[in-house]
């Protein structure tokens, strides 16, 4: 007689071989869940305490090591310490000449008031300084020298007091605007990206899982990881230069990855429960399958971030270190905290159903829609491949004409003080006045150098040499005839370095260097362009090796690398189109043609390549599971796509929302990065992961899983798809 167990009754776990390391770790965390939670709380407290005692401050040096601008910056700090701090430009635009007695009195009162505010170390007299009054006499430019070297160190409240004083001094016929990086920081808006990302993620998880408990697990893991990694930022800052935007990047990536990884494991846990395993055995099996995929996926992200160290830029190394700490903490939470939480909530994984969500959300197994999509892709795999590749190449075309450079105040919002200051300076003194070059030279060649510069095409003005207190070094300000983002300005910098300075220093051992914000931006972009092939080659090669080790195939890593590079190129193209300031740019708040800071595509590549490999691992691990079980490539591809389609699209939707939360930022670099990453995720999960990858797998057939015999013998068995006895 056959006895059928009720659906709700759990059956004993089948006899299986001993679980792998992750399975045993998951089982231990499940049984010792109280101790695991306590350990995480203690770790958080220790991290907070160490960061409070030993934590460093944010700092960023955007100059290229060993470059001409870096040498100029170092010499300026050593020999002109009064000019080494940050500064604020005070721009006065009047309907009458600014030299009129009444206007001079108002300007004097304003500058006196500004000089008495906190962190203002000194004020230059615009009437006594060369170039302080425009040729038409209607615009005046004065400089406030601050006692902080880094704009991020200027308290926003004190900057707002400067802005308030300027606003009070303005009247009809007399407009006062302040410019400078400190002003841009104070006028920037906080968009609460983390909160937006978590809120959207909660909605998506509730819709996908249909129960509060299942949706809450990924959020809990992500928040715990964010809490610990956030407190460790100060310790990283004590060792490396960490830019002020790095913690935001790290927290957003940590949230997205934490949710994605836990989402995958919750899905697999529910599948094992649906097969009848009790909570502990289901946890062990989940860690032995999905847990392995998570570690490989996280490893690809860490490999990608390691590539940023190859750029040789301190601010990128600091950002990479903070982000890697966040990813590492997320992985630690996934393999320890997650199974511990299952120890408390595993039995109730399908409790607290969401009333408006269909019960289909709680059903396990391949979705019919994805099964239908797989059949369609398999039938039209050649057409799908050609159409997908053509679409990606078409999207990449605008990147061929992108303008590299650093966005400045001219790209800020039209109503901001920094933008009004920029426009007034350009109108009154010429476009080059917004990006002057600073020449630091030995005093022996200063006069000759000044004469050579005055006769150089493209130079609008050269200030008289200012000597340092020791009298051995001269500082000259060179105003280009073109704006800081103009290609002619870059050519002028090159001309000064390659022709003017050698001519002025010929026959002497004197030295001269070209610095300033504009020259620093040019040198940094050049340095990044020179090192970019090293980054791309290193990240792609290491990722391919990791995939080959995980999936025991030569073809799969090659296909993944090629498709990921196409995906990155397409995202670059969409970003370049938005930066043109047309209809697409206006949708995200870019109304003028804007250059692309070279470090943005570098960051995008490193992060996107890692995330793309995440989705690749999620997808291929289930495909390989089917291949190992059936040796039928078509069936394996179909089962893998149908089993992971919902997970990958939900994970991508969460990731897209997380990065889209950057777009409202007033900081152009942050806005462009957020938009670029959101577009990249959308392209990757729709065109690449859901179309090109299965189409390519169907085209290649059994060749997907080919591995040369010598490699077959030496490569270790990771069983990323799960051990044979657990699948």
Residue 17 has pLDDT above 70, yes or no: no
pLDDT tens for residues 455-467?
999 999 898 888 8
Which of 359-373, 461-475, 479-493, 575-589 comes out lowest in average pLDDT? 359-373
Of 199 and 327, which is predicted with more confidence? 327
Q: Tell whether the model's pLDDT for residue 725 goes beyond 60.
A: no
pLDDT given for residue 342 in this prediction: 93
Q: What is the pLDDT of residue 327?
A: 92
How far is 561 from 303, CA to CA, in rounded Å? 14
The pLDDT of residue 526 is above 90:
no
Arithmetic mean of pLDDT, 390-399: 95
Tens digit of pLDDT for each residue in 373-388?
888 999 999 999 999 9
Question: Tell me: the pLDDT tens digits for 563-619?
Answer: 888 999 999 999 999 999 888 988 888 888 888 888 888 888 888 877 777 778 778
> Residue 215 has which token pair?
């949706």
The pLDDT of residue 698 is 92
Q: What is the pLDDT of residue 6?
A: 42
Q: Tell me, what's the pLDDT at 474? A: 92
Which pair of tokens denotes residue 589? 């708040």
Question: Residue 82's pLDDT is what?
Answer: 67
**What size, in residues, is the chain?**
727
**C-alpha gyration radius of the chain:** 30
Out of 154-163, 282-291, 348-357, 493-502, which region has the weakest mean confidence (pLDDT)? 348-357
pLDDT at 397 over 90: yes
What is the reported pTM?
0.80
pLDDT confidence tier of residue 659, bands split at 50, 70 and 90? confident
Residue 573's pLDDT is 95
What is the C-alpha separation between 147 and 122, in angstroms, rounded? Answer: 9
Q: What tokens appear for 421 in the block?
A: 């200051």
From residue 727, how far is each of 286, 290, 618, 716, 721 by CA, in Å? 10, 11, 15, 19, 8
* Residue 211 per-residue DSSP state: B
Exposure class string for 225-261: b at 16+ Cβ within 10 A, else e: bbbbbbbbbbbbbeebbbbbbbbbbbbbbbbbbbbbb
Residue 15 confidence (pLDDT): 44
pLDDT at 361 over 70: no
Q: What per-residue confidence (pLDDT) applies to 622?
A: 80
Tell me what the pLDDT averaged over the chain comes to: 85
Taking CA 380 as the corner, what is the angle to CA 375 and CA 383, rounded to the nearest 5 degrees? 150
What pLDDT shows up at residue 11? 46
Q: Which residues contact 442 (CB under 8 A, 6 or more apart)?
A: 472, 473, 474, 510, 511, 512
Q: What percent of the chain has pLDDT over 90?
A: 27
Q: What pLDDT does residue 128 have? A: 84
The span from the CA of 238 to the CA of 225, in Å, is 21
Residues 6+ apart with CB under 8 A from 232: 47, 51, 325, 329
696-709: pLDDT as tens digits: 999 998 888 888 87
- First CA to last CA distance, the chain: 29
pLDDT of residue 1: 38
CB atoms within 10 A of CB 171: 10
Each residue's pLDDT tens digit, 306-339: 888 888 788 889 999 999 999 999 999 999 999 9
The yes-or-no verdict on residue 205 having pLDDT over 90 is no
- Give the DSSP letter of residue 438: E
């Amino acid at each position: 007689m056959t006895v059928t167990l009720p659906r709700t009754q759990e059956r004993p776990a089948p006899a299986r071989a001993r679980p792998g390391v992750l399975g045993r770790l998951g089982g231990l965390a499940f049984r010792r869940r109280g101790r695991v939670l306590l350990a995480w709380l203690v770790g958080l407290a220790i991290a907070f305490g160490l960061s409070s005692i030993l934590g460093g401050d944010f700092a960023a040096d955007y100059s290229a090591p060993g470059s001409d601008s870096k040498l100029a910056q170092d010499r300026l700090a050593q020999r002109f310490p009064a000019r080494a701090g940050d500064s604020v430009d005070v721009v006065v635009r009047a309907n009458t000449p600014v030299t009129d007695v009444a206007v001079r009195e108002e300007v004097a009162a304003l500058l006196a008031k500004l000089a008495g505010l906190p962190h203002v170390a000194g004020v230059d007299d615009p009437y006594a300084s060369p170039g302080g009054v425009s040729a038409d006499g209607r615009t005046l430019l004065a400089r406030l020298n601050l006692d902080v070297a880094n704009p991020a160190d200027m308290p926003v409240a004190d900057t707002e007091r400067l802005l308030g004083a300027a606003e009070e001094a303005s009247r009809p016929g007399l407009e006062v605007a302040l410019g400078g990086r400190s002003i841009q920081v104070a006028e920037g808006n906080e968009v609460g990206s983390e909160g937006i990302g978590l809120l959207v993620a909660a909605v998506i998880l509730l819709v996908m899982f249909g129960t509060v408990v299942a949706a809450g697990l990924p959020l809990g893991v992500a928040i715990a990881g964010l809490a610990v990694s956030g407190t460790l930022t100060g310790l990283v800052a004590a060792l490396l230069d960490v830019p002020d935007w790095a913690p935001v990047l790290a927290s957003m990536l940590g949230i997205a990855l934490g949710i994605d990884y836990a989402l995958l494991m919750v899905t697999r846990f529910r599948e094992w429960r649906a097969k009848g395993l009790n909570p502990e055995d289901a946890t062990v099996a989940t860690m032995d399958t999905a847990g392995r995929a998570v570690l490989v996926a996280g490893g690809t992200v860490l490999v990608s971030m390691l590539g940023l160290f190859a750029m040789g830029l301190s601010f990128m190394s600091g950002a990479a270190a903070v982000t890697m700490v966040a990813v590492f903490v997320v992985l630690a939470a996934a393999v320890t905290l997650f199974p511990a939480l299952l120890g408390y909530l595993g039995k109730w994984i399908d409790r607290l159903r969401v009333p408006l969500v269909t019960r289909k959300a709680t059903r396990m197994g391949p979705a019919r829609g994805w099964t239908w999509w797989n059949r369609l892709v398999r039938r039209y795999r050649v057409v799908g491949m050609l159409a997908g590749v053509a679409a990606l190449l078409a999207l990449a075309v605008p990147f061929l004409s992108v303008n590299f450079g650093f966005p400045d105040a001219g790209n800020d919002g039209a109503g901001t003080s920094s933008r009004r200051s920029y426009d007034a300076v350009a109108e009154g003194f010429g476009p080059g006045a917004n990006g002057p070059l600073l020449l630091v030279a030995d005093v022996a060649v200063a006069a000759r150098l000044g004469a050579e510069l005055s006769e150089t095409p493209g130079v609008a003005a050269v200030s008289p040499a200012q000597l340092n207190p020791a009298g051995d070094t001269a500082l000259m300000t060179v105003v280009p005839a073109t704006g800081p983002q103009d290609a002619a300005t870059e050519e002028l910098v090159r001309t000064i370095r390659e022709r003017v300075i050698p001519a002025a220093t010929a026959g002497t051992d004197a030295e001269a260097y070209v610095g300033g914000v504009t020259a620093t931006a040019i040198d940094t972009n050049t340095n990044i362009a020179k090192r970019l092939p090293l980054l791309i080659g290193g990240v792609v090669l290491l990722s391919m090796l990791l995939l080959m080790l995980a999936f025991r195939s030569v073809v799969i890593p090659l296909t993944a690398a090629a498709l990921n590079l196409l995906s990155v190129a397409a995202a670059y193209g969409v970003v370049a189109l938005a930066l043109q300031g047309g209809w697409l740019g206006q949708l995200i708040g870019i109304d003028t043609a804007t250059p692309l800071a070279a470090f943005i595509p570098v960051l995008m590549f490193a992060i996107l390549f890692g995330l793309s490999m995440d989705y690749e691992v999620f997808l291929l691990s289930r495909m390989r599971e089917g291949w190992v079980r059936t040796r039928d490539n078509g069936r394996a591809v179909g089962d893998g796509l149908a089993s992971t389609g919902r997970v990958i699209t939900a994970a991508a939707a969460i990731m897209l929302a997380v990065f889209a939360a950057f777009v409202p930022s007033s900081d152009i670099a942050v806005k462009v990065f957020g938009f670029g990453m959101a577009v990249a995720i959308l392209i990757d999960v729709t065109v690449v992961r859901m179309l090109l990858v299965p189409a390519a797998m169907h085209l290649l057939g059994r060749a997907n899983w080919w591995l040369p015999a010598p490699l077959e013998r030496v490569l270790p068995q990771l069983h990323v798809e799960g051990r044979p006895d657990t699948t």
